[in-house]
Copies of this chain bind each other. A is one copy, B any other.
Amino acid sequence: MATERPAKLRVFSLNCWGIRFLSQCCAQRYEMIAELLDREQHDVALLQEVWSEKDFLFLKNKLSSSHPHTHYFKSGVIGSGLAVFSKHRIQDALLYQYSLNGYPYMLCHGDWFGGKAVGLVIVDMFGLKAHVYVTHLHAEYSRARDEYLPHRIVQSWELLQFVRHTSCGAGMVILGGDLNMHPQDLGNRLIRAHTGLRDCYTEAATFDGCEDGHTLIADNHFTKKQDLVPFEKGIRIDYILMKGSKRVNVKCESLSTTKGSVADKPFPYSDHESLTAELALIQSEDNRQHGVRNTECSDTVVPVSEQMDVVSEARAVIKEGLCQTEVLQAKAMCLIGGGLLLLLLLLAMAFLPCLCSGGHFSFTTVGFLGAVCMIVLLSGALLYLFFATHIKVLKETEDQMKLTSNYLQTKLSWHSVSESSSSDGSLEHQPFKREE
């Protein structure tokens, strides 16, 4: 039954910090999270860092009546950590694993093992197809010297491309997750400019939560204070973004965050604060008047010049990332060279016994040298191949950005020349015609 009253939709997002045996009070916090979700009955809950499938299954079991529809996205060595719990039926799911995601040898950072990705679930909601995305981008370990910036920009690009190209038939689009970027960081601007997604924090009619919408705050029991420097008060890196379609307008009526401590509980839900957005879905005039049943693709309303500027900025970062990676690949070559030298030395010791006649070399030394030689050679070869794939990814991203730039440039000139009726300057609106 069509209605004039707006439908309401509550969306929840939380980075659960669920590293078994490493994250503090993990099991107790999952109990608290399950209790919260069961009580609050959000329409959709988007969770990140649910690293263990056992914890996902615990939540699934606890939420079987409040959120009977779930999907747990599996990728990488230990998983993507992404999970969706929904009151409404999930019709389909799709996963896109980011092509660049840190280095396997950075064990202390560990992002590489997580197989970071963006997951899409298509949810039947109020007779609409809602495209709901959940994601978690690579962490920023040092703002001053951020070696992962190109990785995060590649991920932002892949995320926006994935959202743009898979949300065409959507009745509405929701993206939630830990973007690991401040609101005005390049990647964030890139995503907003090229998808047309709007930030619930800036759009919300009312807000109740931490100052400036921070989701990583000093007042959180689990937060390491040094992670916040130089933003002592906190940072905002978790988001719920949204947009409607030609069929439905989406408005954010309210946004709230947790504020560190939880009433009657000894500790917070996570080291991140959770977000809850209340969205109102209003049938658009177009839809009412013309009874449009399927939604149509709509271009973003962000000015083309702004889109171009942000792509140019991103291209510069990708080019710098390419140089960095070429240096790393050269170092891998040096490692292979070192391994080969060591191998030569070992062969010389084997075939020129005079070298060892002094008895200076024990069995242990030679065994150790053999082992080291193989480690160096194998590591060098693997790293060389690894950086070769990184270079391919960076070049592909740069090529795609270049295509987009060129297209936007054409759009801009076409728009300024033709003063067409199409307000967004889209080239697709030419009539279907035969070319000779």
On A, residues with C-beta under 8 Å from B are 1-3, 5-8, 71-79, 89-97, 99, 115, 120, 124, 126-129, 161-162, 165-166, 168-169, 171, 247-248, 281, 283, 287, 293-297, 346, 349-350, 356, 361-364, 366-375, 378, 382, 385, 388-389, 392-393, 395-396, 399-400, 403-404, 407, 410, 427-435
- What's the least CB distance linking A367 to chain B, in Å? 4
Alpha-carbon separation in the docked complex, A432 to B124 (Å): 11
A430 near B296: Cβ-Cβ < 8 Å: no
User: Looking at the complex, which one of B3, B78, B120 makes contact with A433 (CB distance below 8 Å)?
Assistant: B3
User: Looking at the complex, which one of B361, B372, B399 makes contact with A71 (CB distance below 8 Å)?
Assistant: B399
Residues of B within 8 A of A128 (CB): 428, 432
Contacts A127-B428, A366-B370, A372-B374 aside, 5 further interface pairs with beta carbons under 8 A come to: A2-B431, A74-B395, A95-B400, A349-B363, A361-B363
Alpha-carbon separation in the docked complex, A248 to B434 (Å): 12
6 A–B pairs (Cβ distance < 8 Å), ordered by A: A92-B400, A294-B296, A350-B367, A366-B367, A371-B374, A382-B382
User: Which of A361, A403, A410, A429 has the most B CB atoms < 10 Å from its CB?
Assistant: A403
B367 near A432: Cβ-Cβ < 8 Å: no
Known: A363-B363, A375-B374. A73 touches B248 (CB 8 A): no
A165 near B74: Cβ-Cβ < 8 Å: no
B93 near A400: Cβ-Cβ < 8 Å: yes
Residues of B within 8 A of A7 (CB): 432-435
User: Looking at the complex, which one of B6, B169, B431 makes contact with A169 (CB distance below 8 Å)?
Assistant: B169
Residues of B within 8 A of A99 (CB): 75, 97
Alpha-carbon separation in the docked complex, A166 to B433 (Å): 24
Alpha-carbon separation in the docked complex, A424 to B434 (Å): 31
User: Which of A1, A296, A434 has the most B CB atoms < 10 Å from its CB?
Assistant: A434
Residues of B within 8 A of A367 (CB): 346, 349-350, 366-367, 369-370, 373
- What's the least CB distance linking A169 to chain B, in Å? 4
- What's the least CB distance linking A33 to chain B, in Å? 22
Known: A91-B407, A400-B92. A79 touches B392 (CB 8 A): yes
Alpha-carbon separation in the docked complex, A283 to B434 (Å): 11
The closest CB in chain B to the CB of A122 belongs to: B165
- What's the least CB distance linking A24 to chain B, in Å? 26
- What's the least CB distance linking A273 to chain B, in Å? 29
The closest CB in chain B to the CB of A391 belongs to: B74
